[in-house]
Amino acid sequence: MHASPLPVHLNVQAPVHITGLGIVSALGNDVPDNLNALINERTGIGAISRLNTRHAATLPAAEVKYTNAELADLAELENPYAWTRTSLLGLNAVQEAIAQAGVDPAAARVGFISASTAGGMDSSEGMYGEFFTDPPGPSAKEWVATHDPGEHTERIAAELGITGFVTTISTACSSSANAIMLGARLIRAGKLDVVIAGGSDALSRYTVNGFNSLMILDHSLCRPFDRSRAGLNLGEAAAYVILESDAHLRSRNATSLGRVSGYANTNDAFHATASSPEGEGAYMAMSQALKVAELSPRGIDHINVHGTGTLNNDLSESRALIRLFGDRIPPFTSTKTFTGHTLAAAGAVEAIYALLAMHHGVLFANLRFEHPLVEVPIVPVLQTTHGRRIRHVLSSSFGFGGNNTSLVISAPL
């Protein structure tokens, strides 16, 4: 195993501020609703009621409760025709983040980096047959072009008038953590002033059946880090942060909610879908993110772990935590016990929760934990804990293809 070189950033000290947050998840359609559910230990996971799948009765998931028409109304979309659910979720979350930050998305030097794994799949899987009939189905022409993961980004960018750096990342479960990392790097390099970074993934039959085929979905509510864990629950969400350069923030006297102070993306180079059992990739991502943040492990006050609830992930992530933090692992939580695994959105969802934990001095609970693992007996946060001084939070997202990303979210300067 050779050591990866550490990035030598041009301006490693330049702060990357977070000035806006936007989220739609099973916990609610804005930041206050999400915070409220987290503090009150109210999970968003339950029986599938909206998605039309034959597994609805047996596989719990965390659905956003709104229909597509309701999401279009919430976003005050004038013409919602051929908007996929991924685009609708994304637009709502982006609007909330922009409103909080008070930035103009159509200004020069504003970038939009969005992540998705399923893209328009929730629409195209329902009308796939219509694309191939002769003549094709009546709406096939408009919908066929919404299938790929990049479409939602361009759809939202066109709606908001963004014309500069517009791109889509799809690196499985680390996708939107990678969107935030790229945004932070572009700001540090002086390429952009403002970046809207995050991701969106609607629940689809494709992903439900795909993860089910890998036999890593729990038929009960997921129990990350628990001895009895039996897999993950899927969820759907969209989440975005507004990243801003220090100069731009000062020029408009805006308020920093926090900073992206560290980031790293590494690859296991171990297996297509499994993490290395020793957690090598997770260790590399976490330790390199700390180095970029110029923090020692002791500097981390809280960890929002990847913590999917699969046998493989939680064991390898636990080993990586022990290797990095020894017997002083900071309080850690898998908020996937609330939101399910929201795939490409997960990294941004959890970066927002990390910032909320810091801002409100609260540790959220890792729900349903009872018994520690036999191999690595570590215990997460058991209930909502107020009154904590939290300055630096590590947030990790690990994905298929050995793709591991860790972010460090820090308090405002």
Partner 1 sequence: MSKTYIIGASAIGAQPVFDRDAPERVVPYDTHPLNAIVPDLSRYIAPMKARRMTRLVRLGIMSGMNAMERAGVKVPGAIIVGTGDGCKHSTERFLTNMIEHDEQVPDPTAFIGSTHNSLAGQIALATGSNGYNYTYLARGLSFTSALADGLLHVQEGIRNVLVGGADVITADFVTTQKLSGLWKQRNVNNLEVLQSGDAGALAGEGSAFFVLDSEPAGKDPVEVVAAQMVFGEDDMEARVIGMLDMAGLAVGDVDLLVLGCNGDAVEDRAYASTQALFPRAAVAAYKHLTGEYYTANAQGAWFAWSALVNGGPPKECLLRAGSSGPIRTVLFHDRFQRKDNSLILLRK
Enumerate the β-bridge partners of residue 25: 28
- The answer to whether the beta carbons of residues 364 and 378 sit under 8 Å apart is no
Neighbours of 18 (CB within 10 A): 25
> Which of 102, 129, 326, 361 forms a contact with partner 1 (CB under 8 A)?
129
Half-sphere exposure at residue 209, Cβ-oriented, CA atoms within 13 angstroms: 10
Backbone angles phi, psi at 248, to 5 degrees: -70, -40
107 binds partner 1 (CB under 8 A): no
Instruction: Kindly state the smallest distance separating residue 232's Cβ from partner 1, in Å.
Output: 15
Work out how close the CB of 264 gets to partner 1 at its nearest, in angstroms, rounded to a whole number: 8
Site for partner 1 in 196-255 (CB under 8 A): 205-206, 209-215
Residue where the block lists tokens 């609830």: 309
Task: Pick the closer one to partner 1 by CB: 10 or 247.
Answer: 10
Could you say whether residue 150 binds partner 1 (CB under 8 A)?
A: yes
Is residue 385 within 8 A of residue 395, CB to CB? The reply is no
Site for partner 1, residues 362 to 401, rule: CB under 8 A: 399-401
Binding mask 9-38 for partner 1 (x = CB under 8 A): xx----------------------------
- Closest distance of CB 281 from partner 1, Å: 7
Assign 74 to helix, strand or coil: helix
Neighbours of 164 (CB within 10 A): 17
List active site positions. 173, 306, 341
318 touches partner 1 (CB under 8 A)? no
Distance of CA 204 to the CA centre of its chain: 17
4 binds partner 1 (CB under 8 A): yes
The 3-state DSSP class for residue 398 equals strand
Q: Select 219 or 250, whichever has its Cβ closest to partner 1.
A: 219
Window contacting partner 1 (CB under 8 A); options: 123-131, 247-255, 333-341, 371-379:
123-131
**Stretch in the footprint of partner 1 (CB under 8 A) among 63-71, 78-86, 117-125, 220-228:** 117-125
Residue selected from 16, 169, 293, 393 as contacting partner 1 according to rule CB under 8 A: 169
Candidates 49, 79, 81, 132: give the one binding partner 1 (CB under 8 A). 132
Q: Does 90 bind partner 1 (CB under 8 A)?
A: no
Q: Are 2 and 280 in contact (CB under 8 A)?
A: no
Query: Minimum distance between the CB of residue 178 and partner 1, rounded to whole angstroms?
Result: 6
Please list every residue from 249 through 278 that binds partner 1, using CB under 8 A.
Answer: 265-273
Dist. CA 20–CA 255, nearest whole Å: 9
110-115/332-333 β-pairing: unpaired
Residue 57 found at the interface with partner 1 (CB under 8 A)? no
Residue of 46, 80, 164, 372 that binds partner 1 (CB under 8 A): 164
Among 110, 162, 184, 286, binds partner 1 (CB under 8 A): 162
With CB under 8 A as the contact rule, the residue among 45, 51, 110, 172 that binds partner 1 is 172
Nearest distance from residue 357's CB to partner 1, in Å? 27
Residue 383 C-beta: closest distance to partner 1, Å: 36
Each residue of 180-189: b (16+ CB within 10 Å) or e?
Answer: bbbbbbbbbe
Q: Is 141 in the site for partner 1 (CB under 8 A)?
A: yes
Q: Is 148 in the site for partner 1 (CB under 8 A)?
A: yes
The only residue of 14, 33, 50, 167 in contact with partner 1, by rule CB under 8 A: 167
| Residue 355 to residue 32: CA distance in whole angstroms | 13
Residue burial 232-256, b: 16+ Cβ < 10 Å; e: rest: bbbbbbbbbbbbbbbebbeeeebeb
Cβ(224)–Cβ(141) below 8 Å: no
Element holding 287 (H helix, E strand): helix 280-292
Q: How far is the CB of 363 from partner 1 (least distance, A)?
A: 31
| Amino acid of residue 342 | T
Beta bridge partners of 259: 17, 410
